[in-house]
Structure formats: structure tokens, C-alpha cells
Amino acid sequence: MKITCIGAGYVGGPTMAVIADKCPDIDVTIVDLNAQRIAQWNDDDLSNLPVFEPGLSDVVAKTRNRNLFFSTDVENAIREGDIIFIAVNTPTKTYGVGKGMAADLKYVELCARQIAEIAHGEKIIVEKSTLPVRTAQSLKTILSNNAKNLSFQVLSNPEFLAEGTAVQDLYHPDRVLIGGDQTPEGLKAIETLTSIYARWIPRERIIQTNVWSSELSKLTANSFLAQRISSINSISALCEQTGANVSEIAKAIGTDSRIGSKFLQASVGFGGSCFQKDILNLVYLCRYFNLPEVADYWEHVIKMNDYQKRRFANKIIETLFNSVSGKKITCLGWAFKKDTNDTRESAAIYVTTALLRDKAEIHVYDPKVTPEQIYADLDYMKQHHRSNDMTGIAGDMTTKELKDLVHVHNEPYEAMDKAHAIALLTEWEEFSSYDWEAIYNKMYKPAFVFDGRNLLQKDKLSKIGFEVYTIGN
């Protein structure tokens, strides 16, 4: 048996590496149109892999060129694979019908058309990308109208890994979900895929459903997770007005086994490529199916998140005497969470943009994100943000002006030297072990710290002399 995966990104790369590790008798080929990304996956120097994930380079070192292969030859991989995973990106549409809401399925459709053109024999096509419910039907329609000599089954097998813990999540998932047609052929395909995961995951954790339940479970899971963060963040705002402490509340409610303690960390706002995109997608589907009340309900999870990011940026501006113009603000962290180099939808981008609007001078330090990525994020924000009202940079700022105002450092102390304020935006653990006394001595006074992750010890910092703002306290 051979496995092909189209899309060598944050999902395709780690997922296939783990399958290759656990199934040494199966050849796994990951293909991508992006030649640079494939070259990075094939780089001898494992620190150059395009995805940073704890533990990933070890798995790649073990499997690469044994039974794990990275290639740009999409056609050959489609021809060879018995099981073809589609793990391409499905971003929010930035144009036309459904702009700013619906998932852009053009990359998925392209895969289906390519498979239809090239593949023959028996194939199992697996939706690994996160897709709107009923996408499998569109794939089937494209395949059955265009393919020749192809007998296929489409399965939905959404991925639940979280970045930063992807490798651990893939080796020990809470569950694997496989949806397929409830016909003899569909059930056989489900069983084939199940038998691969069953090599390392107990069968009772492999859930089999129909395709539509599987597709919709993924959007629902992400919406529930994000909803918890928006819920605790909404309470953080109330805490700041009343003297209650959001961390104490999270602990108090989290010990109720019906609520549970995870995902109750108040923050500057959730980021990442999935939560916002998937909720917007859910909202779009609800509106499409004429369920406005349901759509409004879920849309508020995002509105609350926008509010939290805006609130944090405004807090900085207000505290710095209502203007940050010409002031040096240092952002500690740019990634959307710790232990990843991914910056998609990172709260840092929104907060920085709001500060730039108020003419701040921004200095950034992140242990894993490159300067090119940071400038690209700000440029993208300039063009594509859903609502300018949120934090979009005044469209009139040129890329050059942006670069003049944003300085990226590869050393944290230099980034904080002579700063007016520090905004901690990602919970990288190294931030808590810095010499905060030395940092204080080199900052303008009053020296402000805005901890968007409640990572630092507030009492210790206050004792040094800092003015400290934390979320919900």
C-alpha cells in the first residue's frame, strides 16, 4: 500500500511523518506545489524544516528517505497512491461571494480535478483539510464527471492536532474521526483507513461516522474550543472592573467536572489559522441554510475575540497617556501561541497594527518567527483585514513606512532597550526567565508591562518598579 498526501504544510508534514513512523512498510509521499517548502522539508539541516514543532525533526530524521518522501511531483504521487490525503489550505475567501466568511475551496477543487485527470484504478480520497459540511459531495461530483477508469471513495478524516503539541497529539490523539458513505464500499474504505490508525491508536478511540457528521464535527469542535476562550475573556473584562481575578475564577469553575479546566486561560485573544476561519465558515453555512439566529450566536465568539484584542491595544494607548506616537513599544512574541513559528491570525498582528495606527515605534522579538514573516503579516493585514474598523492599518501607509516603524530583533534585551512599554503577546516560556531588573533599568519610566498572557509574576515585577497590566486582574 502507498499513501500520498497533497499539501506539505502544518498538517500534511507532521501527520504523514507520524504515519510513516508507525507504518514502516507503507511508503508515504507528501507533495506540494511550493518548491521552496519541499526543499526545506528535504534540507539536510533539520533546523530548516518549514514547520517548527517540538519533536518533529526527530520523526523526520527517522523516516525521511526511508518510507517518507517529499516531492513536487504531484502527478506521479497521485498516480501511485492508493490512499490520497488532501491536506491543502482552506483559508477564508478574500474575494467575491462569501468574501470574509466562506472557506475558499479553490485549492481543494484543484486537487480533485487533478486526481480526476490522472488517477485510475481504486483510490481512497481522504479529506484531511477542514471543510464545510457537504464538501465531499462536491468532490464526488467533480471526480465522477471527469475521471476515467477510476473507482473511488471519499472519506472525511479531519485533523484535531494543535500546533506546538502536534507530534504529541498525533501519537496520542483523544480520538480519530473517520466519516464515509454507509454503503458496503464506503464501510470498506473506512475500515482500510481505520486499520492504519489502529496500528498505534486503540480502536475505541477511532470514531466512525457518516461523512456529513465528520465534516461538521470538525467545525463544531473548533467553535466550542474558541467559545470557551471568548467566554473566559468576556469575564476578564468584568474582572477588571470589579476586583475579581480571572485566574481564580478559571480555577474555581474549572474544578467542576462538567466544565473542566482546559481552555480557560484568559488572553489577549485567540489566534491561529483555524478558529476564526472555521467559525466564520460555520456562520456562513448557517446563513446559507437560513438559520440567522444560529449564525449570530456563533459570530459573537469572534466579535468577543476582536473586542479582546482591541481592548488590549486600547489599554496600552490609554495607559501611555493617550498616545503612543513616537514611543518605543516592544512586542515580546509574534507567533499565535508558544512552540510554533506559525503567525496566522496572531493577536500580535492586530495589537501591533492598532499601535501603528497611533504612530507607535514597534520593536519585535520572537524566538522562532523571521523578520520576513513579520513584515509579510503586516502587509497582508493592510490589504485584507475583514473590518477596517477593527485594527486595519490606515490603507495609506506604504510598505516602506511600515518597515521604518517596525524593527525586528534577534535578541530580546536589545529589543527592550529604552522602551516605553513592553507588550507580551505570546506565552514563550523564556520570557519569564529574563533578567527583569536589568530590563527595568534600561527602560523609560514609568516602565510599563502589558502581559497579554498572564505569564509573568506580577508581584515580582511591581516590586522592581514596573507598572504592570495583566488580563482580568
Ligand X SMILES: NC(=O)c1ccc[n+]([C@@H]2O[C@H](COP(=O)([O-])OP(=O)(O)OC[C@H]3O[C@@H](n4cnc5c(N)ncnc54)[C@H](O)[C@@H]3O)[C@@H](O)[C@H]2O)c1
- The DSSP 8-state label assigned to residue 399 in this structure reads H
Among 3, 8, 56, 405, binds ligand X (CB under 6 A): 8
When asked if residue 305 is in the footprint of ligand X (CB under 6 A), the reply is no
Contacts of 195 (CB under 8 A, 6+ apart): none
Residues 134-163: x/- map of binding to ligand UPG (CB under 6 A)? -------------------------xxxxx
When asked if residue 279 is in the footprint of ligand X (CB under 6 A), the reply is no
| Alpha-carbon distances of 232 from 137, 304, 350, 351, 376, rounded to whole Å | 37, 10, 20, 19, 31
Among 4, 29, 57, 130, binds ligand X (CB under 6 A): 130
d(CA 133, CA 156): 10
Query: In angstroms, what is the minimal distance from the CB of 237 to ligand UPG?
Result: 14
Look up cell 483539510; give the residue. Answer: 129
CB 324 within 8 A of CB 360: yes
Contacts of 364 (CB under 8 A, 6+ apart): 330, 331, 334, 348, 352, 374, 406, 407, 408, 409, 415
CB 48 within 8 A of CB 10: no
- Based on the residue annotation, tell me whether 274 is a catalytic residue of this protein: yes
Residues 268-307: x/- map of binding to ligand UPG (CB under 6 A)? --xxx-xx--------------------------------
Near ligand UPG in 197-236, by CB under 6 A: 222, 225, 229
When asked if residue 207 is in the footprint of ligand X (CB under 6 A), the reply is no
Query: In angstroms, what is the minimal distance from the CB of 127 to ligand X?
Result: 9
167 annotated ligand-binding residue: no
Q: Is the bond preceding 367 in cis, omega lying within 30 degrees of 0?
A: no
Q: For residue 132, which of 225, 209, 218, 11 has the smallest C-alpha distance? A: 218
341 annotated ligand-binding residue: no
CB 450 within 8 A of CB 421: yes
Q: Which of 5, 23, 111, 274 is catalytic?
A: 274
Strand partners, 3: 28, 83
| Alpha-carbon distances of 245 from 148, 231, 236, 264, rounded to whole Å | 63, 15, 8, 13
Query: In angstroms, what is the minimal distance from the CB of 88 to ligand UPG?
Result: 14
CB under 5 to 8 A by kind: which of ligand X, ligand UPG, none does 271 bind? Answer: ligand UPG
When asked if residue 107 is in the footprint of ligand X (CB under 6 A), the reply is yes
Considering the complex, state which of residue 17 and residue 317 has its C-beta at the smaller distance from ligand X.
17
Considering the complex, state which of residue 263 and residue 440 has its C-beta at the smaller distance from ligand UPG.
263
d(CA 182, CA 203): 19
The overall longest dimension of the chain from CA atoms, in Å, is: 74
296 annotated ligand-binding residue: no
Mark the binding-site residues for NAD(+), compressed into ranges.
Answer: 7-12, 32, 37, 88-92, 129-130, 163, 274-277, 344
- Residues in contact with ligand UPG by the rule CB under 6 A: 130, 159-163, 222, 225, 229, 263-265, 267, 270-272, 274-275, 336-337
Q: Which residues are catalytic?
A: 274
- Residues in contact with ligand X by the rule CB under 6 A: 6-12, 31-34, 37, 74, 87-90, 107, 110-111, 129-130, 159, 161, 163, 273-274
